Amino acid sequence: MKTSDIEVHGYCAPKYERLREAFLGNFRNLGEIGGSFAVTVRGELVADLWGGWKDFEATTPWEQDTIACVWSTSKGIGGACFAMLIDRSIASYEDKVSRYWPEFAVHGKGDLTIGMLLSHQSGITGFDTPATLDDLFSGEPAAQRLAAQAPLWPIGTASGYSNVVAILATELFKRIEGRSIQQFVADELKGSFGLDISVGVSQQDLPRVAIMLSEKKMEAVNTVPVANEAQRGLHNPPLTSDVATTPGFQRADIIAMNGFSNARALASMYSLLRHPGQDGRRLAGDAAVAEAAKLRFDGVDRVRGIRRTWSAGFLRNVDNCWGPNVQAFGHGGWGGSFGYVDPAADISVGYVMNRMSDQMDLNPRRRALVDAVYAAL
């Protein structure tokens, strides 16, 4: 594949042409294969770009409506859904999980709040007995199994990043709202707000999906080591990048890992947390968004082994991951995708790609795009 043959398509406002240049530079200099990149400023879409290929053989172009698995970038989508519940006064972040799910209270978890759960403070980072992918994707049985476990630490005293927190959050959401979060996203984010976001992917949408690519099959264990009990939970069962092509993964209702979207939808979703769309509506009002973004944990995460600043379903900016402003919040995913909003700069950004990187926060493609955004302001 000749990088000189790559074309970047889409719209870029004249003032922000350096965003197109940075995105194209990722293809020419940093090995990008296919992807999309979008930015809003003060609620207006100033860049909506896409380019490259959906496959490694460079036979199928990445189109305007191409979507890809965004892995843990999905957690921010879940965070937005919970903020919508809070905005509608259906629940509060200070409500105890056990209020809606009495069985969850066992083993000293009765005082865990929704805000604590969404900021990875439950002490549950994985199944405490061997599990399979079928177990992981089983929905309510997986949630009940996790709810019956004892926490690895006293609730609210530490954080431990995990995917199973979203199994618990998915079950909790259904108990509060009545709909599964998969259905809520379909009805509200996609149906009502027109955002190209789904939890899992339908057979109808499969032709639009870009294949997740890497030089070798990526294993999550290469990103987060297995040095303590909390980390072992994250890798039970082991995850590899090719799981995204399996029917079980594509059908599952797990807002932690199997969202499918593109950059335009992610940037627009985060913008709608601050600004109304064309129909005058926002996802949630100022008070609910402020509660969602409020710092709930700041310390060394027991799974990641690095400093994390968690809010309710979102990661707050740390180490300039999303520019210079600490108020920024969002979420990134395995391989490199991300979405976030920066209230101080009044921008939102989305990035989705199919060539996965194991560099996480140090991903040079992510860095190049974020740097270009702030240079253009």
259-281 burial, b at 16+ Cβ within 10 Å, e below that, comes to bbbbbbbbbbbbbbbbbeeeeee
Instruction: Describe the crossing of helices 74-87 and 263-271 by its angle, rounded to 10 degrees.
Output: 30
Q: How far apart are CA 1 and CA 110, in angstroms?
A: 56
What digits encode the pLDDT tens for the residues 70-93? 999 999 999 999 999 999 999 999
For 84, 90, 188, 277, 279, the CA distances from 192, given in Å and listed in that order, are 13, 19, 5, 11, 10
pLDDT value at position 214?
73
* pLDDT tens column, 13-68: 999 999 999 999 999 999 999 999 999 999 999 999 999 999 988 899 999 999 99
- SS3 string, 142-205, reads HHHHHHCCCCCCCCCCCCCCCCHHHHHHHHHHHHHHCCCHHHHHHHHHHHHCCCCCEECCCCCC
Domain interval for residue 332:
3-376
* Alpha carbon 307 to chain centroid, angstroms: 18
Question: 34 φ, ψ to 5°?
Answer: -155, 150
Structure tokens at 154: 């006293």
Q: What's the pTM value of the predicted model, to 2 decimals?
A: 0.96
Neighbouring residues of 301: CB distance < 8 A, sequence distance ≥ 6: 120, 159, 160, 161, 307, 308
Asked if 323 contacts 303 with a C-beta cutoff of 8 angstroms, the reply is no
Q: In 3D, which of 283, 252, 332 has the Cα closest to residue 80?
A: 283
Check the CA dihedral 200-204-208-210 and report its sign.
positive
- 192-233 pLDDT, tens digit each: 999 999 999 999 999 999 998 876 665 554 566 565 777 777
Q: Return the pLDDT at 334.
A: 92
When mean pLDDT is compared across 3-12, 121-130, 287-296, the lowest value belongs to: 3-12
Matching residue, tokens 């994390």: 308
- What's the pLDDT at 215? 62
The residue that leads in pLDDT, 234 or 44, is 44
The DSSP result for 273-312, as a single string, is TTS--TTS--SS-HHHHHHHHS--EEEE-TTT-SEEEE-S
Type and span of the H or E element at 315: strand 315-316
Tell me the two tokens of residue 113.
Answer: 């709040």
Rounded CA Rg of the chain: 19
Within 10 angstroms of residue 162's Cβ, the number of other Cβ atoms is 24
- Domain total in the chain: 1
- Please tell me the distance from the alpha carbon of residue 4 to that of residue 125, in angstroms, as a whole number: 44
Nearest to 157 by CA among 299, 42, 313, 22: 299
Task: Specify whether the CB–CB gap between 337 and 352 falls below 8 A.
Answer: yes
CATH number of the domain residue 164 falls in: 3.40.710.10
- Cβ-proximal residues to 131 (8 Å cutoff; 6+ apart), any chain: 236, 237
